């Protein structure tokens, strides 16, 4: 049980570190809060909440993985190196692809609801 509690503590520390040191994580966190508020304002359906929750979880997870890859790459090679740049760029691209997919989910859910207001 101690190991389980410790693993949650380590995960919490990692989340706190990423939140404190990565501006893009904080931007995605703010966007997530806006989407959650919009979900309540528009009273979205249960399956829409599932899609939104999974999208937010995936984007935030990818941000954490991207940060971990960047931290490791900087540790392994603190100097500029073309291969390390490729690794970092690929990790950043994964976040971008996930964020774009999440934006599509958001548009599919919220665009029709916003459209009827006009």
Report pLDDT for 118.
87
Which entry of 35, 63, 99, 106 is annotated as an active-site residue?
63
Average pLDDT, the chain: 96
Q: Any known ligand binding at 22?
A: yes
Instruction: Please compute, for residue 66, the number of CA atoms within 13 A of its CA located in the half-sphere on the CB side.
Output: 26
**Would you state the structure tokens that stand for residue 65, as one six-digit string?**
């993985």
Task: Say which residue the tokens 């309540």 belong to.
Answer: 40
DSSP secondary structure of 33-63: HHHHHHHHHTT--HHHHHHHHHHHHHHHHHH
Model pTM? 0.90
The domain defined by 2-115 carries CATH number 3.40.50.720: no
Taking only the tens place, the pLDDT of each residue in 21-43 is 999 999 999 999 999 999 999 99
Rounded CA-CA distance 86/7 in Å is 31
Q: Which residue numbers in the chain have pLDDT < 50?
A: none
Q: First CA to last CA across the chain, in angstroms? A: 55
Q: Any known ligand binding at 88?
A: yes
- Catalytic residue list contains 48: no
Q: Any known ligand binding at 48?
A: no
**Would you state the structure tokens that stand for residue 112, as one six-digit string?**
């029709």
Q: Any known ligand binding at 70?
A: yes
């Amino acid at each position: 049980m101690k190991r389980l509690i410790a693993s949650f503590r380590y995960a919490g520390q990692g989340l706190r570190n990423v939140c404190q040191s990565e501006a893009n994580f904080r931007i995605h966190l703010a966007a997530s809060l806006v989407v959650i508020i919009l979900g309540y304002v528009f009273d979205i359906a249960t399956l829409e909440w599932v899609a939104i929750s999974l999208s937010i979880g995936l984007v935030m997870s990818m941000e954490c993985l991207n940060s971990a890859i960047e931290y490791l790459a900087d540790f392994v090679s603190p100097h500029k190196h073309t291969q390390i740049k490729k690794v970092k760029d690929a990790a950043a691209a994964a976040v971008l692809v996930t964020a774009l997919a999440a934006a599509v989910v958001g548009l599919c859910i919220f665009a029709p609801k916003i459209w009827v207001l006009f």
